[in-house]
Amino acid sequence: MSLRFRLIALVTIVLMLSLAFGGVIACFNASRSVRTEMGSALLVGRQTIDNAVRALQGSLDPQRDLDGLVISFQANRHLRVSVTGGAEAAAVPVSDHSPFGEVPAWFVWLVGVAPVIDRVPIAIGGHPYGAVVIETDPHNEILEVWNQVSESVLVLALFCGQTILLIHLFIGRALRPLDRVSAAFEQIGQGDYRTRIADSLTPELRHLHDNFNRMAARLAEAAADNRRLNEQLLTLQEQERSEIARDLHDEVSPFLFAVNIDIANMSRLIKERRWAELPHHIQTIADAVGHMQRQVRTMLGRLRPIGLAEFGLTGAVGSMVEFWQRRHPEIEYRVSVSPTCESLGDLADTTIYRVVQEALSNAVRHGKPARIGVSIAPAPDHDPGHGGVIVEIIDDGQGKRESSGVGYGLLGMGERVRALGGHLTLSNRPGGGFAVTAVLPDSSPRGLQTVPLQGAAQ
Ligand X SMILES: Nc1ncnc2c1ncn2[C@@H]1O[C@H](COP(=O)(O)OP(=O)(O)OP(=O)(O)O)[C@@H](O)[C@H]1O
The answer to whether residue 400 forms part of the interface with ligand X (CB under 6 A) is yes
Q: Minimal distance in Å, beta carbon 456 to Mg ion?
A: 22
Dihedral class, residue 457 (left if φ above 0, else alpha if ψ from -120 to 50, else beta) = beta
| Cα–Cα–Cα angle for 130, 133, 134, rounded to 5 degrees | 155
Q: Scanning residues 306 to 365, which ones bind Mg ion (CB under 5 A)? A: 362
Q: Scanning residues 340 to 379, which ones bind ligand X (CB under 6 A)? A: 362-363, 366-367
Question: CA-CA distance, 263 to 234, in Å (whole number)?
Answer: 41
Confirm if 391 and 352 have CB atoms less than 8 A apart: yes
| 325/362 with CB nearer Mg ion | 362
Which residues lie below 8 Å from residue 435, measured CB to CB, with a gap of 6+? 392, 393, 394, 395, 425, 426, 427, 428, 429
In angstroms, the Cα distances linking 174 to 79, 171, 269 are: 60, 5, 99
Q: Minimal distance in Å, beta carbon 308 to ligand X?
A: 20
- Binding partner of 136, given ligand X, Mg ion, none, CB within 5-8 angstroms per partner class: none
| 215/233 with CB nearer ligand X | 233
| 8-state DSSP, 304 | S
Question: Judged by CB under 6 A, which stretch of 20-28, 320-328, 406-414, 449-457 contacts ligand X?
Answer: 406-414
Question: CA-CA distance, 147 to 361, in Å (whole number)?
Answer: 100
The answer to whether residue 409 forms part of the interface with Mg ion (CB under 5 A) is yes
How many Cα neighbours within 13 Å face the side chain of 180? 20
- Binding partner of 378, given ligand X, Mg ion, none, CB within 5-8 angstroms per partner class: none
| 135/395 with CB nearer ligand X | 395
Q: Minimal distance in Å, beta carbon 172 to ligand X?
A: 57
| 111/410 with CB nearer ligand X | 410
The answer to whether residue 22 forms part of the interface with Mg ion (CB under 5 A) is no
- Binding partner of 408, given ligand X, Mg ion, none, CB within 5-8 angstroms per partner class: ligand X
| 288/363 with CB nearer ligand X | 363
- Binding partner of 363, given ligand X, Mg ion, none, CB within 5-8 angstroms per partner class: ligand X
Q: Scanning residues 361 to 400, which ones bind Mg ion (CB under 5 A)? A: 362
- Binding partner of 367, given Mg ion, ligand X, none, CB within 5-8 angstroms per partner class: ligand X
**Spatial strand order in the sheet of 117-124:** 79-84, 127-136, 117-124
Q: Which of 73, 255, 333, 434 binds ligand X (CB under 6 A)?
A: 434
Q: Minimal distance in Å, beta carbon 235 to ligand X?
A: 11
Q: Minimal distance in Å, beta carbon 239 to ligand X?
A: 9
The answer to whether residue 404 forms part of the interface with ligand X (CB under 6 A) is yes
Strand ranges for 338-415 from DSSP E? 371-378, 389-395
Which residues lie below 8 Å from residue 177, measured CB to CB, with a gap of 6+? 201, 202, 205, 209
Among residues 396, 392, 404, 391, the alpha carbon closest in space to that of 430 is found at 396
Closest-by-Cβ residue to Mg ion is 409
Question: CA-CA distance, 270 to 266, in Å (whole number)?
Answer: 6
- Binding partner of 392, given ligand X, Mg ion, none, CB within 5-8 angstroms per partner class: none
| Cα–Cα–Cα angle for 401, 404, 405, rounded to 5 degrees | 135
- Binding partner of 22, given Mg ion, ligand X, none, CB within 5-8 angstroms per partner class: none
In angstroms, the Cα distances linking 358 to 294, 364, 370, 417 are: 23, 10, 18, 13
| 407/421 with CB nearer ligand X | 407
CB atoms within 10 A of CB 54: 9
Q: Which of 399, 414, 422, 445 binds ligand X (CB under 6 A)?
A: 399
Question: CA-CA distance, 174 to 185, in Å (whole number)?
Answer: 18
Q: Minimal distance in Å, beta carbon 271 to ligand X?
A: 52
- Binding partner of 388, given Mg ion, ligand X, none, CB within 5-8 angstroms per partner class: none
Question: CA-CA distance, 151 to 207, in Å (whole number)?
Answer: 47
Which residues lie below 8 Å from residue 351, measured CB to CB, with a gap of 6+? 416, 417, 419, 420, 438, 440
Compute the CA torsion angle 191, 196, 197, 198 (nearest 10 deg): -150
In angstroms, the Cα distances linking 259 to 29, 62, 77, 144, 297 are: 123, 164, 139, 128, 19
| 152/298 with CB nearer ligand X | 298
Question: Judged by CB under 6 A, which stretch of 81-89, 172-180, 241-249, 397-405 contacts ligand X?
Answer: 397-405
| 8-state DSSP, 91 | P
> Number of residues in contact with ligand X, rule: CB under 6 A?
15
| 61/238 with CB nearer Mg ion | 238
> Number of residues in contact with Mg ion, rule: CB under 5 A?
2
Q: Minimal distance in Å, beta carbon 436 to ligand X?
A: 7
Q: Minimal distance in Å, beta carbon 393 to Mg ion?
A: 12
Positions that interact with ligand X (CB under 6 A): 362-363, 366-367, 395, 397, 399-400, 404, 406-410, 434
**Binding interface with Mg ion (CB under 5 A):** 362, 409
